[in-house]
Amino acid sequence: MAVTEFDIDVAYESHAGVKGINEDATDLLLPKDNYLQRVKGYAFVVADGVSSAEAGRDASHIAVERFLVEYYQTPDTWSVSKSGEQVLSAINLRLFRKSHQYKNEHKGYLTTLSILVLKGHKGYFFHVGDSRIYLLRDKKLTLLTQDHCASIEKDKTFLTRAVGMDNKLHIDFSSFALQQNDRFLLCSDGVHDFIAESELTQILSQSLPMSHLCKQLIIAAEKGNSDDNMSCLLLHIKSLPQQHIDDLNDELTRLPFPPMLKTGMKLDGYRVLSEVFASSRSHLYLVEDEDTHEQFAMKVPSKNFIDDIHYIDRFIREQWVGSRIKSEYVVNIIQHHRPRTGLYYLMEWLPGISLDKWLEQHFPISPKRAIELVKKVALALEAFHQHDAVHQDIKPANIMVLDQDKIKVVDFGSVFVAGLAELYSPIENQGVLGTATYSDPNYLQGKSPGVQGDVYSLATLCYEIFTNSLPYGKRIEDCRTMRDYDRLRYISATEQNPIIPIWFDKALEKGVKFDLNERYNTIAEFMKDLTQPNPLFLKKEPEAKQSNSLFFWKLVSGFWFITLVVVLYLFSRTT
């Protein structure tokens, strides 16, 4: 199989064998895009789902599919090791959390994973578990990986490492120089445990297409009485790229900050149409691709941080975070397809206005229109949470409103991705993350509220959309310590807007509670109480002496019925 950079022959086979279900997964990706070929290379993956975990098949397929998607979405300024470790950490945490959704301890998402990446004149591998990667060079077979197994008795072993086994993933990683005529075998234990090394060497040394040799390996494993799924991927490097590109990543990580751009200026084939936004931290420009005439938003770092390595790392990470979140309610990051001479990234162009400016023009808003906006922001946040990411800076200025009330959440500068801390030192944050008016005060105490922090921001945003004010008033903008926040009192939304039902106000109040034990745990819980009256919120505060509880509950039931009728009327109005 010939490709632009390499001339290679590659093939793979995967069979269930004597088992009824094939829990192995094998795949590869050879990018057609020349730029991706240069900065990311070619990836080859074999995974073996742990059968005793019941969800092994799902785990292996999720791991393989997500790696081949997300690895190529990482910033082109990241090295192979940083890209791979970052992606694998995120995949591991996803599987680990899926495992813990089940009470049955045998229901788990566990898989081995062996990955080979070829880039320039170097090879790289990532490895967890007991699948293997072999190298055949000059007719000598070398096992590159080490099985992560322990023996409990004769002929019985168990895995000591697997993707999804722990919330922190320990990955074997190595890089090495490639040579012409190198041959690589990636295989599951259903193959390597049932073929002697001498026979492996003999099969791999034959001058036959890799597809033929793959079939021979499966046949040999079957003859060796393999009692497991059998998967193998074979790769033969017929020739290497003519030029070394090993230093390309070093060049990318040293990309200079672009100069201040003005209308009409050009950068890497993009012509600046206008400056959209400028702050002390970054600049945003509307640009046009001179080749395709497509318009994009170009985000450029501020020169104020040219020597701040933490800022640069966070800026580069924004591109990766945004590229992982695929939602119609989140701005789309554009993949680079040609070399850059400066540090920046591209986003889809959004012809709209920010929610804060939109509210100035449209308030007051009908309840139906207002709740639809809130629902869309909630869906955007849930897209982040599904990828173990927390936005941490939801505010009107970070939400674009387009035609027909479509919305897009933008800005990934404050996003936290679970699993990052095990790979990188966290960036120290002074005070509240994001904007203090909308951010959870718990950040001040050094607490990480996670998803609950986004619940707080969404509840604050919802309160503002319905009332044009803030849950704790303007005094919250002056708060600097938790003592300042403790002096604040929630202002009932019904005082700001009389049409707001009591149960709706109670949901908002619970959403902005400072005490995490009293606040909603998830966006879904908050939205449920926001759109369906919670009976607990309709119950009046008990009096000191209640003489007729039956009469009280009849009154509450009647009140609830009337409230439902009013709600159906209010939320069906469009003006």
pLDDT in tens, 151-162: 776 667 788 999
pLDDT in tens, 509-545: 999 999 999 999 999 999 999 999 999 988 765 544 4
Residue 432 has pLDDT above 50, yes or no: no
Confidence of residue 297 (pLDDT cuts 50, 70, 90): very high
Alpha-carbon torsion 468, 471, 472, 478, what sign? Answer: negative
- As a whole number, the mean pLDDT across the chain is 87
Distance CA(270)–CA(294), nearest Å, equals 10
Average pLDDT over residues 364-370: 94
Average pLDDT over residues 22-34: 93
Q: What pLDDT sits at residue 118?
A: 96
Confidence of residue 321 (pLDDT cuts 50, 70, 90): confident
Q: Which of 91-100, 214-223, 303-312 has the highest mean pLDDT?
A: 214-223
Average pLDDT over residues 170-180: 94
Instruction: State whether residue 133 is helix, strand or coil.
Output: strand
Tokens of 186: 């990636």
Tokens of 514: 């400072």
CB 125 within 8 A of CB 110: no
Q: Are strands 113-119 and 156-159 parallel, antiparallel or unpaired?
A: unpaired
Helix, strand, coil shares of the chain, percent, nearest 5, are 40, 20, 40
Q: What angle, rounded to 10 degrees, do the helices at 210-223 and 197-204 form?
A: 160
Those residues with Cβ within 8 angstroms of residue 537's Cβ, 6 or more apart along the chain or in another chain = 502, 503, 506, 507, 529
Sorted by where each starts, the structural domains of the chain and their CATH numbers stand as: 7-248 (3.60.40.10), 255-348 (3.30.200.20), 353-570 (1.10.510.10)
Better-scored residue on pLDDT, 288 or 240: 288
Residue 308 has pLDDT above 50, yes or no: yes
Distance CA(513)–CA(522), nearest Å, equals 13
Could you tell me the end-to-end alpha-carbon distance of the chain, in angstroms, rounded to an integer? 62
Residue-wise burial string across 506-529, b where 16 or more C-beta atoms lie within 10 A, e elsewhere: bbbbbbbbbebeebbeebeebbeb
Instruction: Using alpha carbons, select from 227, 197, 248 the residue that is nearest to residue 38.
Output: 248
Residue-wise burial string across 144-162, b where 16 or more C-beta atoms lie within 10 A, e elsewhere: bbebbeeeeeeeeeebebb
Distance CA(184)–CA(162), nearest Å, equals 22
Q: Are strands 172-177 and 295-301 parallel, antiparallel or unpaired?
A: unpaired
Segments of 216-291 assigned E as strands: 230-239, 266-267, 270-278, 282-289
DSSP letter for 177, please: E
Distance CA(534)–CA(503), nearest Å, equals 7
Residue 82 has pLDDT above 70, yes or no: yes
